[in-house]
Amino acid sequence: MAEKFEEAVRLYNMKRWDSALQTFHDVDTSSFTPEEKMELAYYLGLCYTKLERYNDAVLYFEQVVTGAASPLRICQCRLTLAYIYMITKRPRMAEFELDRLIKSGFKSVQIYTMMAYAAWMQKQYDRAVKMYENALDIDPNNATAMNGLGFLLVDNGTDIRRGLELCKKAVDKRPHSAAYLDSLGWAYYKSGQVNEARQWLRRALDLAPRQKDISLHMKIIIAEAS
């Protein structure tokens, strides 16, 4: 590949997203093979993602998944597309990309936990539980899957006891995660242990004082205790 492309990759690895993007756009692709053009599109998509220019990123990732790219690059692009669609609140599109990966033979904890979250965003709680269970079948000690499944089980009242245990295990693995501490606090609240709930939610708020969901959970607990 051209030296300018290699320089752009170096800038990208240095997290100089703007400079990398400009350098990638300056690359002369006249002698590039189709595979090399797909690699360039992949990196352009990454740069736009880092710069939170998501619509531009989607255009380049779509080129890769429909072009002459390697299966690994297609997998990486579909995962990133799913991420973009979820943070831009398009869970059905995220689910489409993830489903394509599963049908292509790519099955991982990351894919299943993302599928679960996309289902949760659409209030498809049974499907979300199933996806988290699939993730735990692959890795029974995955903190993300334990926290997600635990929160769902307690929030819906499906299995509060198991949900609480899963939330405890997730916090044991990542004790400084505000999201996990929040889930554990909410699980204690749902199990009727209000004092324990308040303690864990206070820890969560100390780590993420502006997180709306944590603040809401704390307000609910304080209102009930008063």
pLDDT in 10s for each residue of the chain, 226 residues: 678 999 999 999 999 999 999 999 999 998 899 999 999 999 999 999 999 999 999 999 999 999 877 888 999 999 999 999 999 999 999 999 999 999 989 999 999 999 999 999 999 999 999 999 999 999 999 999 999 999 999 999 999 999 999 999 999 999 999 999 999 999 999 999 999 999 999 999 999 999 999 999 999 988 876 6
By the 8 A CB rule, do 60 and 45 touch? yes
CA angle 164, 162, 95 (to 5 degrees): 90
User: Residues, the chain, total?
Assistant: 226
Distance CA 133, CA 136 (A): 5
Taking the whole predicted model, whether its pTM rises above 0.75 is answered as yes
Query: What DSSP designation does 62 have?
Result: H
> What domains are defined for the chain?
1-101 (1.25.40.10), 137-226 (1.25.40.10)
Distance CA 212, CA 150 (A): 20
Which amino acid makes up residue 160?
Answer: I
Of 77, 119, 84, 121, which is closest to residue 100 (Cα–Cα)? 77
